[in-house]
Chains A and B, each alone.
Chain A
Amino acid sequence: MAYTIVESCVNCWACEPLCPSAAIIAADPHFIIDAGKCTECEGDYAEPQCGSICPIEGAILNSLGEAINPPGSLTGIAPCRLAETKAEIQAR
């Protein structure tokens, strides 16, 4: 049971200081999670900390390989509403 950071990570550092298990490593070309240390925050927090502050959709995966923050979850705009929202914004 461990999370994974994938290449869309932008190395913004937000997750690193929050990890209760010190499992996040500031690596190159992107940050990585030490699978041996990651507990998915169980016992420490109700919600996994890295996944709760990561600003990039799809950059952190759970142990099933699913995105913790799927498309639209961080912009607040569901993919099906994207075109509509874009038109609204461009009319401003």
Chain B
Amino acid sequence: MEKKNPEYRGQATGGCVKSACGGSQAQLSHLPEEIHKKVHNHPCYSEEAHHYYARMHVAVAPACNIQCHYCNRKYDCSNESRPGVVSELLTPQQAVKKVLAVASRIPQMTVVGIAGPGDPLANPERTFATFREISKKAPDIKLCVSTNGLNLPEHVDELVKCNVDHVTITINCLDPDIGEKIYPWVFWKNRRVRGRKGAAILIRQQQKGLQMLVDKGILVKVNSVMIPGVNAHHLQEVSKVVKQKGAFLHNVMPLISESGHGTFYGVMGQRGPTARELRELQDACEGNMNMMRHCRQCRADAIGLLGEDRNAEFTMENIEAMDIDYDTAMTKRLEIQKSIEAGRKAGVKRSNGVSVSFASFQQNAAPRSVIMAVASSGKGVIDQHFGHAGKFLLYEVSDRGVRFAGYREVEQYCDGNETCGETEDRLQRTIRALHGCEVVLCSRIGIEPWTRLEEAGIRPDGEHAMEPVEEALIAVYQEMLKTGLPEKSVPAEQQALA
């Protein structure tokens, strides 16, 4: 199916705003001391921690008990990076082994989550067997789980027993009339319950589960998928209600609905929100509660820092060959994490330095923002060759700072429609993916792509190789301000953010 617009696959927005990078302590500072302690080292919850600590998801939970229109249950696909997608289904025993292996090799891995590929609580035996073993063998690791909420109330006690301290519930609505447009059916008490009735059961269970978790002192984050024309207008209300009930963070994510993913929404042509719509909603919700803006919507088997996936290093085959002495590893982990904590203070200072340079912009009228793309493997520095980048990180850079604005993926494979294939080479696809960007930063770039990028109106920049992303973006923006920002038509900018 051909899309009307060149699609902006905005998987996430917000993020490394200069103030937020150094300032998430303040962002979370209203939280009670106990909660603050719990999230301090959690990369998914603390905007600052995501630069330092890593998490992993283990894919032990294949079955699902509801259908969401944005999900395709054919999850066995390694070409995609989005929630619910994994390549290797693990048994609980394999998962435990994998966790110990990763924890030994990546000492900054502090969190293990079960997020799918189905619903963890639709696979309670597998999920809880995994949690029980990990908490026994690696008590220093935090456990978290992500659920649609349908079976949540009946499992709250077991979650408490396993020492799970963070739960994410995906709540897309409070109103069954909206719910029936998102969830065609749920599997409830051994029957398939369709339409509004099914949605009403799901919503009731989610709200009940949220309340029970809060009462037990378990941290609850709420995820919502923003679907234009379906729940977009309703999510501010969701934000308000879940905060009232005690959720500590609300993460509004954009719908991902490419036709090639084979989801109902994708096939039917339901659009996702534009980056602007998403940001406006996130801004509107922020008055209600803490918003999470650095989410990268990672795969269900993601390993590493957010936005970086090292899963390929830890296949079961590789793990079987590893010799793991966890007691020794744990000692090492504690040492390294201590040194990270010492380094974090220094890091904050550096960010402050960056923001000072912004204060020195004495502009009468605020200069316009510039969309820049970055080729980075996700370690926070510009470390990828232009030709090797499978996806680009997008940032909106302005005098207010740097704002993560999502990903652009270079389509790697033919998805069967007539517009792809022999007629278009990889470079063309890459340039198309970068449509609307004015600058692309990479570690290196060849002469041909350089020329063709310039022809396409995108300035290649290879001068900031191995520099931290945000600092490099600011340097480029300052340079552009000095030489004068080129005129840019408003429609072009809108397209870039659309």
Query: CB within 8 Å of B: which residues of A?
Result: 10-14, 16-18, 45-47, 49, 52-53, 55-56, 74-76, 85-86, 89-92
Contact = CB atoms under 8 A, between A and B. Distances in A.
A69 to B, nearest CB: 9
Contacts of A86: 268-269
Contacts of B227: 92
A57 to B, nearest CB: 11
A47 B271 CA distance: 36
Nearest to A44: B190
Q: How large is the interface on B (under 10, 10 to 19, 20 to 34, 35 or more residues)?
A: 20 to 34
Contacts of A45: 190
A5 to B, nearest CB: 14
A14 B269 contact: no
Contact of B65 (A10, A53, A89): A53
Interface in B422-439: none
Interface in B39-90: 62-65, 67, 73-76, 89
A10 B73 CA distance: 7
Contacts of A76: 180, 184-185, 194-195
A66 to B, nearest CB: 17
B62 A13 contact: yes
Interface string B389-406: 000000000000000000
A13 B63 contact: yes
B76 A89 contact: no
Given A49-B190, A86-B269, A55 B230 contact: no
Contacts of B190: 18, 45-47, 49, 52
B271 to A, nearest CB: 7
A10 B118 CA distance: 13
Contacts of B229: 89, 91-92
Q: Count chain A CB atoms within 10 A of each CB in B63, B123, B227, B230 and give the residue with the most.
A: B63
A47 B184 CA distance: 18
B270 interface: yes
Contacts of B62: 12-14
A45 B190 CA distance: 8
A89 B73 contact: no
Given A52-B192, A89-B270, A90-B269, A12 B118 contact: yes
A92 B89 CA distance: 36
A87 to B, nearest CB: 9
Q: Count chain A CB atoms within 10 A of each CB in B74, B118, B194, B227 and give the residue with the most.
A: B74
A12 B73 contact: yes
A56 B184 CA distance: 12
6 contacts: A10-B74, A12-B75, A13-B89, A53-B192, A74-B184, A89-B265
